[in-house]
Amino acid sequence: MDRQRALAELTAPGQPYELEEVAVYGRPCRAFRNAPPTLRDLFDQNRSDLPFIVYQDERLSFEQAWQQAARLATLMIELGVEHGDRVAISMRNYPEWMIAFTAITSIGAVAVAMNALWQPEELAYGLSDSGAKVLVADQERLERFSRINRALPNLSVIAVRAKDDYDVGATAFELASNSAETCSMPAAALDPAHNATILYTSGSTGHPKGAVSCHRNVISALVSWELDAHAGAMTRGRALTPPKTQQATLLAVPLFHVTGLHAVYLSAYRSQRRIVSMYKWDVEHAAELIEREQINYVVAPPAMTGDLVATAKKTQRDLSSLLTVGGGGAPRAPSQVRNIGGAFKRALPNTGWGMTETNAIGAGIIGQDYLEHPESSGRAAAVLDLRIVDETGAELPAGKRGELQVRGTSVVSGYWNRPDANAETFIDGWLRTGDVAYLDDDGFLYIVDRIKDLVIRGGENVGCGAVEAALLEHPDIVEASVYGIPDERLGEEVGATVYSRAQLNEDDIRSFLEPRLARFEIPRYLRFTASPLPRIASGKILKRQLREEALQELARS
């Protein structure tokens, strides 16, 4: 059976994945008739005594996590949180991250997933831009917040695993979580169209933009992955049956990205998977956890899955429990796709293309299809439409390269407080992705370039304009151009060419940038020139030439 027939059978009237037409932000879309209406329904419907979150020696069941979330939600309401208020989360992948998300979205508030790598100035922007009423933060983020808290005097703070609240008047998370009493989740009137999340995504210029999703956006992405799994099984001549024992997934990517939030955490509810969370990526520790916890699924950017492939070839660890090694966030080299197929006893490679703005879905590919099309990102999700257009907006036929555009049920409403960005990004219901791509005759998507001025470093989007702006704050820097440098492990590293009035050195520049940019945004490669940067006739800096010069210089050295 081919994929289209499988999807048609699975989504037909009366079937569990039946599709119906609904309006999402006024746009006609295909949606799952039987999906949970809201995230609160998702959480509540999947309460059980099965293990849910594992972090070091701590373990919580689905029911225990729900109870902690109910107590935290009660505390938030005591702090004044009401329906539609924004509550920011800024911390490592602690269990409290997931509990806070459950609490926020279950009472009708909006979870603002803050990049935990942001420095104080970036943190201040996100909190101010979102208008957050409460910040839930761990020790390291509290310390950063303490440097800018005077600018946000009305913001309440809940401290997680913190020995010092740095005089910001924080309430300890433990006050809510340590109670032994059973607690009911506070009542809330929720609708699939209500806002649920704001996730900040780096653009090519200026500050990050807050992509706003409703409950239906998020839920549609989760159920779409389920549908794809069933359709894939049918194309292989078998039905997808529930596993005999509980399966486990490794949480090794940040929860503030859609890969960690959607593909790992939120996908665990209906599948009842156990989540084993890492404080930070360490491939040797990851291999130890896979063996000890019998982990079946890993989803991570190519840099991390490449590490795992290399470790699988040399380690004595038993990694045979792995069934899927998934990718996302950046393209994976075809050689790594083939290596996954050979490095593990049972694991199949998979990947997909998606964006924060599409709630992580878009196109997907797994197993033999992926091995046969290692450069492809797969075929479109059932609730989305993909098209390729030329510079005039005219749709192009198969095989022709142009800009990839997407529309459908998981696409966000737009950017928080950014009508200018919305006008630029959304055209007649279609989202302009900024990716150059083509579709082949069988509907497989191939991403070949970017229109947007971005560097994708290990799955993190780095806006070149934002880095250039930070460099230009230096009193001696006159001009700066930022670009991507190919990197075998991370895909790309950040490079910059700087025209300065005075002689500068790399250490001074990096020290200057540390309080202004996240660590992953700070250029690894810096070139200095005493002459103005080359420009084209329109006055724009000739970035391509500067990048080529940097590559030639690196090759010589």
Assigned token pair, 304: 């991390």
Calpha distance 425→421 (Å, rounded)? 6
- Residue for token digits 């809510």? 176
Q: Which residues contact 14 (CB under 8 A, 6 or more apart)?
A: none
From the list 480, 473, 463, 466, the residue with the least C-alpha distance to 512 is 473
Percent of the chain with pLDDT over 70: 97
Calculate the alpha carbon distances from 425 to 1, 6, 37, 203, 408 in Å.
Answer: 37, 33, 27, 11, 15
Could you tell me where the beta strands, DSSP code E, fall in 170-305? 171-172, 195-201, 209-214, 248-251, 274-277, 297-299
Question: What CA–CA distance (Å, rounded) separates 403 from 50?
Answer: 45
Q: Where are the beta strands (DSSP E) in 144-185?
A: 156-160, 171-172
pLDDT confidence bin for 314, thresholds 50/70/90: confident
For residues 334 and 330, give the distance between their C-alpha atoms in angstroms, rounded to a whole number: 13
Contact 96, 175 (CB under 8 A): no
Amino acid letter, 287: A
Confidence band for 21, pLDDT divided at 50, 70 and 90: very high
Least confident of 26-40, 162-176, 241-255, 262-276: 162-176
Distance between CA atoms of 38 and 191, rounded to whole angstroms? 7
CB 463 within 8 A of CB 453: yes
Distance (Å, whole) CA 40 – CA 43:
5
> Is the pLDDT at 334 greater than 70, yes or no?
yes
| CA angle, residues 456, 462, 468, in degrees to nearest 5 | 135
Alpha carbon 359 to its chain centroid, in Å, reads 8
State residue 530 phi and psi, 5-degree precision. -95, 5
Q: Is 180's pLDDT higher than 70?
A: no
How close are the terminal C-alpha atoms of the chain, in Å? 54
Bridge pairing between strands 430-439 and 426-427: antiparallel
Name which of 386, 418, 434, 455 is nearest 200 in CA terms: 418
Per-residue confidence (pLDDT) for residue 536, from 0 to 100: 65
pLDDT band at 537 (very low <50, low <70, confident <90, very high): low
Please state the CATH superfamily assignment of the domain spanning residues 454-556 in this structure: ANL, C-terminal domain (3.30.300.30)
pLDDT, mean of residues 78-106: 98
Give the model's pLDDT for residue 247.
Answer: 97
326, two tokens: 């998934």
CATH topology of domain 39-190: Rossmann fold (3.40.50)
Tokens 């998370």 sit on residue: 173
Amino acid at site 331:
P
Q: Which of 412, 403, 404, 405 is nearest to 358 (CA)?
A: 412
Q: Average the pLDDT over each of 221-230, 282-291, 332-341, 438-447 and give the range with the smallest value.
A: 332-341
Residue 158 to residue 68: CA distance in whole angstroms: 14
Q: Which of 488, 490, 492, 472 is nearest to 480 (CA)?
A: 472
| Beta-sheet pairing, 248-251 with 297-299 | parallel
Question: Would you state the pLDDT for residue 205?
Answer: 60
Digit-coded pLDDT (tens) for 414-426: 999 999 999 999 9
Q: Tell me: the pLDDT tens digits for 140-176?
A: 999 999 999 999 999 999 999 999 989 999 999 987 7
- CA distances 482 to 5, 186, 457, 486, Å, are 47, 48, 13, 13
Domain range 3-34+213-450, its CATH number among 3.40.50.12780, 3.90.105.20, 3.40.50.2020, 3.40.50.300:
3.40.50.12780
Higher pLDDT pick, 541 / 504: 504
pLDDT band of residue 412 (cuts 50, 70, 90) is very high
What is d(CA 348, CA 346) in angstroms, rounded to the nearest whole number?
7
- Answer yes or no: is pLDDT of 204 > 60: no
Residue 443 is predicted with a pLDDT of 96
Sequence-distant contacts of 541-549: CB under 8 A, at least 24 apart: 541/479, 541/481, 543/453, 543/464, 543/481, 543/483, 546/481, 546/483, 546/497, 547/483, 547/484, 547/485, 547/495, 549/497
* Nearest Cα to Cα of residue 382 among 17, 22, 35: 17
pLDDT digits (tens, 9 = 90+) for 373-389: 988 999 999 999 999 99
* Structure confidence at residue 28 (pLDDT): 96
Residue ranges of the chain assigned to CATH 3.30.300.30: 454-556
Residue 543 binned pLDDT confidence (cut-offs 50, 70, 90): confident
Please, where in the chain does CATH 3.40.50.980 lie?
39-190
Structure tokens of 292? Answer: 């000890």
CATH 3.40.50.12780 in the chain: give the residue spans. 3-34+213-450
Q: How far apart are CA 278 and CA 251, in angstroms?
A: 6
Give Cα 526 distance to the centre of its chain.
28
Contact present, 273 and 226 (Cβ < 8 Å):
no
- Bridge partners of 403, per DSSP, are 389, 436
**What is the predicted pLDDT for the residue at 349?**
86
Q: What does pTM read for this prediction?
A: 0.87
**Structure tokens of 157?**
């703070």
Contact at 8 Å (CB) between 34 and 16? Answer: yes
In sequence order, the β-bridge partners of residue 449 are: 436
Measured CA distances, 105 to 70, 88, 269, 358 (Å)? 11, 12, 15, 19
Give CB contacts under 8 A, 24+ apart, made by 285-290: 286/250, 286/252, 286/311, 287/311, 287/312, 287/315, 287/317, 287/319, 288/317, 289/250, 290/250, 290/317, 290/319, 290/321, 290/322
Contact 227, 275 (CB under 8 A): no
